[in-house]
Chain A
């Protein structure tokens, strides 16, 4: 998978550095994700992969460097940042569905408030999206009444409701019971096959192998490998990647 030089990258990071206090969590990150590419970010915990993901819509501000989404640099706090975030879908490890709103309200809230979509149209697109992720029959329940897998699928529908240009997934299956992981991965896989630009931080090696175009391996805040899934799993170059794979693939 090579980035074409003609189309601007959907996500571009240039010389990005980020510190938590004295801890250097992102070290000189340079990354370009072209439109339609599915990138899986792997790495041991504490390697900075979640921070990388959250920096793209400025949930984590960076200390130096440049981040662009669809050719536009990230604005500072304010209305423009809100507009940019509206075009970047985000799915969290802990779902973060709005606890006091029904599933349907969760999905339609941003289209109504941010896009000023008419209520009837919002309801229609909401139901279509819930149907697509397979939980249309849960529309009027509250998040706490749903299983983890259903909640995460609702969260994906909520992000898709804004018709985002790119979707960020921050360990979307890590908080799920094992039997619910597949239903969420299925939704993500179908999204990937439809050409959505995706950056997925995950520990699901099966998903990385099957759905990803590209694997980025991070360790200690650095990008150690940037390659195809095939090459990463069969012939990793760096010692740290070999060590990581050795630990997770032995079972």
Chain B
């Protein structure tokens, strides 16, 4: 296990890099996914069409392929940038589809009468969604959304294969590959690092679930 302590700085930097990627991707996918869910329940058919297409494309496409498209496709259409941002873009595009469906299931769990009453007092679709429907949907959405976010954190390992240097997966690659360390202790360190992100995330979600359950 000495390999972990001897390369502590490498592990630490990888941990923070992964954490940073996940934080950006989480915020991006939550915002985009919620907007897409709004599209999917909207009374405007073109918006519904966009939402449905998005989910069908990105939910049914391997993340690796989405990453390929972002990393090698975007530069071809004139969008250049660091692989770091391309990988976050891919994670957001992909995860937003799952966030959208989780949020939509929450929207469907709010009794239809709530939306009817909101419309009947003169609220527009956007107003009734943001002030009446989504605040109530949150309660049912937290557990499935938690699973989506934790899956996203684990999916972030794939971006290591795309030249985003220094995140956790790349650390294991460096140590086992070019330095020839034994795989088992190296990977044990990687597992611990991922758990340091996902377990607190899970605990936070549990706390959040209790909090929004009371707030009514």
Which residue on A lies nearest to B110, using beta carbons? A99
Given contacts A96-B117, A99-B216, contact A110 B136 (CB under 8 A): no
Q: Give 4 A-B pairs besides A59-B116, A96-B111, A96-B114 with Cβ atoms closer than 8 angstroms.
A: A92-B117, A96-B116, A98-B118, A100-B216
Which A residues have a C-beta under 8 Å from some C-beta of B? 57, 59, 77, 79, 82-83, 85-90, 92, 94, 96-100, 109-110, 113-114, 142, 144, 155, 158-159, 162
B216 touches A59 (CB 8 A): no
B43 touches A162 (CB 8 A): no
* Secondary structure type dominating chain B contacts: helix
Q: Which residues of A contact B136 (CB under 8 A)?
A: 99-100
* Residue in A87, A99, A158 whose Cβ sees the most chain B Cβ within 10 Å: A99
B119 touches A113 (CB 8 A): no
CA of A222 to CA of B103 in the docked complex: distance in angstroms? 41
Q: Which residues of A contact B43 (CB under 8 A)?
A: 77
Which B residues have a C-beta under 8 Å from some C-beta of A? 43, 111, 113-114, 116-124, 127, 131-132, 135-136, 215-216
Q: Whole-angstrom distance from the CB of B133 to the nearest CB of chain A?
A: 10
B113 touches A110 (CB 8 A): no
B123 touches A110 (CB 8 A): yes
B113 touches A92 (CB 8 A): yes
CA of A250 to CA of B135 in the docked complex: distance in angstroms? 48
Given contacts A77-B43, A85-B122, A100-B216, contact A113 B127 (CB under 8 A): yes
Q: Whole-angstrom distance from the CB of A176 to the nearest CB of chain B?
A: 16
Given contacts A99-B136, A142-B216, contact A109 B116 (CB under 8 A): no
Given contacts A77-B43, A113-B131, A142-B216, contact A98 B119 (CB under 8 A): no
A110 touches B114 (CB 8 A): no
CA of A96 to CA of B113 in the docked complex: distance in angstroms? 5
Q: Whole-angstrom distance from the CB of B127 to the nearest CB of chain A?
A: 6
